[in-house]
A and B are shown apart, each in its own frame.
Chain A
């Protein structure tokens, strides 16, 4: 009897200790070993980035030459003024344009520069006198009677970051009178609400997408530019092009100027027997061959397979093709929709590149032996290719009123203020991209508890958040150069974090599958323990009742 009771007691203790070990040791151990490692992420920082309030500050200096202001108003100089324009694009995005304008009189050296013979010389002389700050602008106001600007020209926009404008001669408040014109100049040289809204087209859905948004390449860390010479008729034409010299002289300065924006690599190739996919029509009137605008879209595809763009880097590729038509199809002209011949004889495709047709003069057949040696005039070709390159980067011509005189950027291909325009839109675009990427990454990681978040992914996210905040602050304080660099770093880090290969989850477990996995493991062990616990409890209850009964 006693042995029985002792046996039972030992049994009870054994069952209880099993249950204790299972609960105290087993359950936490199982929980710990099946949890995924998730490094912490700055969720508050990411949600703060979710609503973007851009403050874009442009430091403007308005310099008055002697005689541009009447005496009373001259004595008010120098003073500073700030103007703000806010536009709310959607509940989570708003853009405030802030123009910090300082008005001052010209110094002696500036006055001497403004007294030069031509406005181009004046611009060159004024350049060292300006502070070399990316994004800052200087407007020089000269008296209305000055002869610096040619007749009929009210404003001259230089190729750096300055403009010269003619003041008004009235007795009234000159400052108020010219402020509208100054505003127009500043907006043309930096950004307008429209250009910023276009850059934010991902966040702010636009109803009608014009070609201006579809044409330029999206902001990327690098681009690959390929120049190809297509010679479909090597028997007739022996074409030579000095592409290396042309790239060094004309393309490289342009790319160097854009060096802060992205990395560029340039290569070139010559393709023989590469034909356009479309046969041109013969036009009796001009006795030449015509490629109509409707057949142009079908030209690119057959040739693309041979361009070898798949063997290059992972960056977006821009292809520029120079096509020398076959002897039997010469001369070949491109016609636009209205049937008029195109002056440049070239066309481009958004986000792809451009093609130019280069016609050769053929002397009488008996005079020159075949193949005819052709040396391509690279200047003509590069003028077209650079124009296409500018369009593909989104550096489009700003529509300006008649009296504005725009200085051509020369061989550099790009004015400083055009670069600034690009930097404003790119910075805003980058920050918007970072915000979208990080928000969606945070949502994804929140929703799926099974994804492992490694330490380096977490550190990239922290870096991205910090850089984006720096970029916003720099934009607000008017330092465009450092804002752009910070935004570029933020984009790089956020893309690296988002596209990290370790973030792929294949652990989609529907609930019934979870049961199916755990039940065969835990049920056989749990059933005896539970049953014996139930038995122990029942016996304990009974033994409590019995003493009370017999009492």
Chain B
């Protein structure tokens, strides 16, 4: 007791300061680690948007798909990474009173067709076979790049399907159907070849939840507009155009997406709340058990947008321009090409000056020059 000295007054303050610093450094470290852990590991985004019904009275399905296309493009996914399949042409349909437009809101408020729509599979090309070929990658070698899904193991893919469906199937073009087992097998084929990092599957049809019941591959999250046994209803007709313009579920999803911009931090739980029963009449469903991250940490822009990861380049390679002459190889000689010109289309002078008999023969030879 005699040897005990009172602690200096500054000690508690210093301790508190030190603890605060360490604490904040620790939380910073934890924060960084947390960010990294919850962030998705994707480097690019793809979207496959499919409308499966044709005929003028299914206008709303094309409008559904185009509104998702529009949101996805606005949030940054380029056309080269979107595979858009529309089974019928509504914008240039002879029954469309406003040609080259597809509206999603009544009173023609929002034209989702725009002026730079790139449809990859159109009209009769939208078949179950082509859809499965796009997903699995078993495409004939002559298919152009815009019709392929060239995703890799770091791609997040958004798949949106709409049309008429039933319990366990989705109708394509009124003539064939795709079953939920086929779809689940196609996704498994994609997973085997690591053609996706994470997949978001959205379906807006009657009894849509039956389509995601059979999925068994990892990293898939699914949303549907209605449960088994329920019908998805359309939103509103436009009396000027004469058909229903959108389906309820996609209408409210579009409204939700209009608020998102590329830097938003909105997560998937908000998307699950879109279109409650009071507005949608059907009960939207979702499935997240195959997904490894918590939906709370999944950003909407992880699937709907294309936010790139970037790193600052800190190093350079040292190059010596003086060594160039010694190390370059001789470039290949270019073939000398003679300048080309169009052949004379109509050598009038020769025709006029030709007299009877020789006219026909000379005219023929002149055109084939």
| Chain B residues near A356 (CB-CB < 8 A) | 313
| Chain A residues near B365 (CB-CB < 8 A) | none
Query: Does residue A157 face the partner (Cβ distance < 8 Å to B)?
Result: no
Q: Which A residue sits closest to B37, measured CB to CB?
A: A208
Distance of A316 Cα from B132 Cα, bound (Å): 22
Query: Does residue B274 face the partner (Cβ distance < 8 Å to A)?
Result: no
| Chain B residues near A299 (CB-CB < 8 A) | 310
Query: Does residue B320 face the partner (Cβ distance < 8 Å to A)?
Result: yes
| Chain B residues near A250 (CB-CB < 8 A) | 319, 324
Given contacts A312-B145, A346-B313, is CB(A214)–CB(B137) below 8 Å?
A: no
- Contact count band on A: 35 or more
Distance of A348 Cα from B182 Cα, bound (Å): 40
Chain A 318-346, CB-CB to B under 8 Å as 1, else 0, gives 00000000000000001010000011101
Distance of A313 Cα from B148 Cα, bound (Å): 12
| Chain B residues near A313 (CB-CB < 8 A) | 145
Q: Which A residue sits closest to B182, measured CB to CB?
A: A508
For residues 232 through 269 of chain B, which have their beta carbon under 8 Å from a beta carbon of chain A? Answer: 262-263
Closest CB of chain A to B30's CB: distance in Å? Answer: 14
| Chain B residues near A501 (CB-CB < 8 A) | 133, 138-141
Contact of A444 among B189, B316, B317, B329 (CB under 8 A): B189
Evaluate contact between B315 and A397: CB separation under 8 angstroms: yes
| Chain A residues near B192 (CB-CB < 8 A) | 436-437, 440, 444
Closest CB of chain A to B225's CB: distance in Å? Answer: 25
Closest CB of chain A to B278's CB: distance in Å? Answer: 36
Q: Which B residue sits closest to A345, measured CB to CB?
A: B313
Distance of A66 Cα from B47 Cα, bound (Å): 66
Contact of A202 among B141, B153, B323 (CB under 8 A): B153
Query: Does residue B314 face the partner (Cβ distance < 8 Å to A)?
Result: yes
Evaluate contact between B317 and A390: CB separation under 8 angstroms: yes
Query: Does residue A408 face the partner (Cβ distance < 8 Å to B)?
Result: yes
Query: Does residue B193 face the partner (Cβ distance < 8 Å to A)?
Result: yes
Closest CB of chain B to A203's CB: distance in Å? Answer: 11
Evaluate contact between A506 and B129: CB separation under 8 angstroms: yes
Query: Does residue B181 face the partner (Cβ distance < 8 Å to A)?
Result: yes
Query: Does residue A150 face the partner (Cβ distance < 8 Å to B)?
Result: no
For residues 265 through 305 of chain A, which have their beta carbon under 8 Å from a beta carbon of chain B? Answer: 293, 296-301, 304-305
Query: Does residue A388 face the partner (Cβ distance < 8 Å to B)?
Result: yes
Distance of A296 Cα from B77 Cα, bound (Å): 16
Query: Does residue B307 face the partner (Cβ distance < 8 Å to A)?
Result: yes
Chain A 26-60, CB-CB to B under 8 Å as 1, else 0, gives 00000000000000000000000000000000000
Evaluate contact between B308 and A352: CB separation under 8 angstroms: yes
| Chain B residues near A336 (CB-CB < 8 A) | 312
| Chain A residues near B152 (CB-CB < 8 A) | 218, 316, 351
Query: Does residue B78 face the partner (Cβ distance < 8 Å to A)?
Result: yes
Evaluate contact between A298 and B307: CB separation under 8 angstroms: yes
Evaluate contact between A387 and B315: CB separation under 8 angstroms: yes
Given contacts A214-B154, A410-B323, is CB(A500)–CB(B314) below 8 Å?
A: no
Evaluate contact between A297 and B324: CB separation under 8 angstroms: no
Query: Does residue A503 face the partner (Cβ distance < 8 Å to B)?
Result: yes
Q: How many residues of B contact A (CB 8 A)?
A: 59
Closest CB of chain A to B258's CB: distance in Å? Answer: 18
Q: Which B residue sits closest to A440, measured CB to CB?
A: B192
Query: Does residue A158 face the partner (Cβ distance < 8 Å to B)?
Result: no
| Chain B residues near A382 (CB-CB < 8 A) | 319
Evaluate contact between A249 and B328: CB separation under 8 angstroms: yes
Evaluate contact between A310 and B79: CB separation under 8 angstroms: yes
Closest CB of chain A to B302's CB: distance in Å? Answer: 13
Query: Does residue A135 face the partner (Cβ distance < 8 Å to B)?
Result: no
For residues 370 through 395 of chain A, which have their beta carbon under 8 Å from a beta carbon of chain B? Answer: 379, 382-384, 386-388, 390-391
Closest CB of chain A to B308's CB: distance in Å? Answer: 5
| Chain B residues near A348 (CB-CB < 8 A) | 310-311, 313
Closest CB of chain A to B43's CB: distance in Å? Answer: 5
Query: Does residue A478 face the partner (Cβ distance < 8 Å to B)?
Result: no
Query: Does residue A411 face the partner (Cβ distance < 8 Å to B)?
Result: yes
Evaluate contact between A211 and B311: CB separation under 8 angstroms: yes
| Chain A residues near B331 (CB-CB < 8 A) | 248
Closest CB of chain A to B146's CB: distance in Å? Answer: 6
| Chain B residues near A411 (CB-CB < 8 A) | 319-320, 323-324, 327
Evaluate contact between A297 and B140: CB separation under 8 angstroms: no
Evaluate contact between B310 and A347: CB separation under 8 angstroms: yes
| Chain A residues near B220 (CB-CB < 8 A) | none
Distance of A300 Cα from B262 Cα, bound (Å): 12
Given contacts A309-B80, A347-B312, A351-B44, is CB(A498)–CB(B193) below 8 Å?
A: yes
| Chain A residues near B312 (CB-CB < 8 A) | 293, 334, 336, 342, 344, 346-347
For residues 81 through 111 of chain B, which have their beta carbon under 8 Å from a beta carbon of chain A? Answer: none
Evaluate contact between B78 and A305: CB separation under 8 angstroms: yes
Query: Does residue B321 face the partner (Cβ distance < 8 Å to A)?
Result: yes
Evaluate contact between A383 and B37: CB separation under 8 angstroms: no
Q: Which A residue sits closest to B263, measured CB to CB?
A: A298
Closest CB of chain B to A422's CB: distance in Å? Answer: 16
Contact of B313 among A387, A409, A503 (CB under 8 A): A387
Evaluate contact between B317 and A383: CB separation under 8 angstroms: yes
| Chain B residues near A305 (CB-CB < 8 A) | 78-80
Evaluate contact between A387 and B78: CB separation under 8 angstroms: no
For residues 123 through 159 of chain B, which have their beta carbon under 8 Å from a beta carbon of chain A? Answer: 128-129, 132-133, 136-141, 145-146, 148, 150, 152-154
5 contacts between A and B (CB under 8 A): A314-B148, A347-B312, A348-B310, A351-B152, A411-B324
Having A408-B318, A501-B141, one finds 8 other A-B pairs with CB under 8 Å, namely A202-B194, A253-B327, A344-B314, A349-B311, A350-B309, A354-B313, A444-B192, A504-B129
